[in-house]
Amino acid sequence: MKLFLRIFLSFWLATILMVVALFTVSDRFSFLTSEDRRMRFDPDLASESLSKAINTYEQRGATAFLAELDVPITIRHSTLLLVDQNGSAIVKAGRISPSDMDMAKDALDSGRSELIRFGLRTAFACPIQSASGHRYATVMSITGHRIRASNPRVWFDLAVAMLSTSLVCLALSFYLTRPITRLRETAQRLAAGDLSARATPPRMNRRDELGDLARDFDVMAAQIQLLMSAQRRFVADVSHELGAPLTRMHLALALLRRRFAGQTVGEVERLERETDKLSNLVQQLLLLAGLEAGSWPAETLTAVSLDSLCGDIVEDAAFEATHAGIQVAGTRQPVTLMVYPGLLRRAIDNVLRNAIRYSAAGAEVNLDLMVDSTAQEVSVQICDHGPGVPESMLSDIFRPFFRTAPGRESKSGGTGLGLAIASEAVRLHDGNIMAHNLPEGGLQVIITLPLRTPAREDDLRHTIAAPDIPA
């Protein structure tokens, strides 16, 4: 059944269920309305009480007339009008409307008592003849907004109606939102990189619009997974196939160097530089392909002093920074974590060298290491004073070969893989990496890692074979 019909029929079911519930509860639990039965309006009893009260009026006046009608066992009313045989109002209690005068005059003319209902109000118009023979007419409101609001039965009926409709609406809401929530969770998992996520449970047999949407979404997810797997396999295969020719090229260059020993041959030097660049690119592609495929590094989780590791990285990058006229500074809090040393070192080094590469001469690059014991996190923050990145591209710089401008990476000497490798390396440490532009200019990259100390992570020590990390 289509979703439109389900919603339509559900509202019809809620209405029918509300009516059935009201009638059923009224019949089965009538003892709850004993007060209503005691105060139920009886026209004959009201006429008798009014006749006695009108005799009291003729003897003792309007105050005695109203006092007798206010006895609880007599008549329950919110407004009351008494007119004489000339149609003149002689007693008024409550807020009297022009329609009350009209009803009183009609009762005098017709000589019949009558219950009149309009809106939420019910009025009783009754002609009366006193013992002295004078004719009168009364109009009293026996139900109205205030009387209904003070009646427990009204609230009880309303509660029964709301309960019955709430149950149907709750079931309908759950039926509609459950697949939408599952679809949203699946989309989030896909965005996070879990290409195996699917929205349709194994035994799902819904045939409505939401079921069709979930199945179409899964077909799309399967196609994306197939395309991404094919792309990664292609990159890994090409990179692997390039390894052997590059090795032979290095051997051939070594032989050329030996043949021209003691001579400076510009062409050979140029070939060596380009071959080294190509070898570095192939090594990074192999590493990235392994990390994206979920391969763990061929090293053991080790207790590492992260502040010492960052110090070594800064020292290694100092030559490149000094040559560019850049100073690397920052503060580092002492902390020891369980990490893959080579992989994490490469991640931080890639980000730091990227910051140095895009900073202007004379600028300063900061590498700060901070520990947040409350959040149980360690953050490595690397800030440069370069041109920054357009806001719309901040999340894209961690994609392989992404360039904020055509030719930017090639001009700077980069391959476009450093930040992508850093992102995958941080992910394998269950961490997070993000970038944002600084208000004063420049880019800040923050690497956040869980605070896993050796004492807490003894059960996580393991080694899983995977491709070696290129130096």
Domain boundaries, the chain: 3-35+153-182, 39-150, 209-292, 302-460
**pLDDT computed for residue 368 by the predictor:** 93
Question: What whole-number distance in Å separates Cα of residue 446 and Cα of residue 461?
Answer: 26
**pLDDT computed for residue 371 by the predictor:** 92
**pLDDT computed for residue 201 by the predictor:** 76
Q: Is-catalytic flag, 240? A: yes
Is 80 exceeded by the pLDDT of residue 269? Answer: no
8 A C-beta contact, residue 446 and residue 433? yes
8 A C-beta contact, residue 96 and residue 116? no
Q: Give one word for 357, left, alpha or beta, with left for phi > 0 and alpha for psi -120 to 50.
A: alpha
**pTM for this one?**
0.49
**pLDDT computed for residue 413 by the predictor:** 52
Provide the H-helix boundaries in 192-305.
209-259, 266-292
Q: Tell me, what DSSP letter sits at residue 459?
A: G
Q: Tokens representing 376?
A: 């149980």
Average pLDDT, the chain: 78
CA dihedral defined by 51, 54, 58, 59, rounded to 10 degrees?
A: 80
Binned at pLDDT 50, 70 and 90, residue 380 comes out as very high
What is the CB neighbour count within 10 angstroms for residue 186?
Answer: 19
Q: Tokens representing 90?
A: 């002689």
Chain position carrying tokens 């003729």? 58
Q: Tokens representing 263?
A: 């001579």
Among 240, 323, 429, 436, the one annotated catalytic:
240
* Predicted confidence (pLDDT) per residue in 216-236, tens digit: 888 898 888 888 777 667 766
369 phi and psi angles, rounded to 5 deg: -115, 120
Assign domain 302-460 to its CATH superfamily.
Histidine kinase-like ATPase, C-terminal domain (3.30.565.10)
8 A C-beta contact, residue 338 and residue 453? yes
Q: Which CATH class is domain 209-292?
A: mainly alpha
Indicate the pairing of strand 336-339 with strand 443-450.
Answer: unpaired
Q: Picking from 59-73, 165-179, 411-425, 435-449, which range would have the lowest pLDDT averaged per residue?
A: 411-425
8 A C-beta contact, residue 78 and residue 146? yes
Q: What is the average pLDDT across 410-434? A: 77
CATH number of 39-150: 3.30.450.20
Question: What whole-number distance in Å separates Cα of residue 223 and Cα of residue 226?
Answer: 5
Counts for the chain of helices (H) and strands (E), in that order: 13, 12
**pLDDT computed for residue 152 by the predictor:** 64
Q: Picking from 22-31, 58-67, 95-104, which range would have the lowest pLDDT averaged per residue?
A: 22-31
- Percent of the chain surpassing pLDDT 70: 74
- Percent of the chain surpassing pLDDT 90: 12
Q: What is the average pLDDT across 126-147? A: 81
Q: What is the average pLDDT across 459-463? A: 43
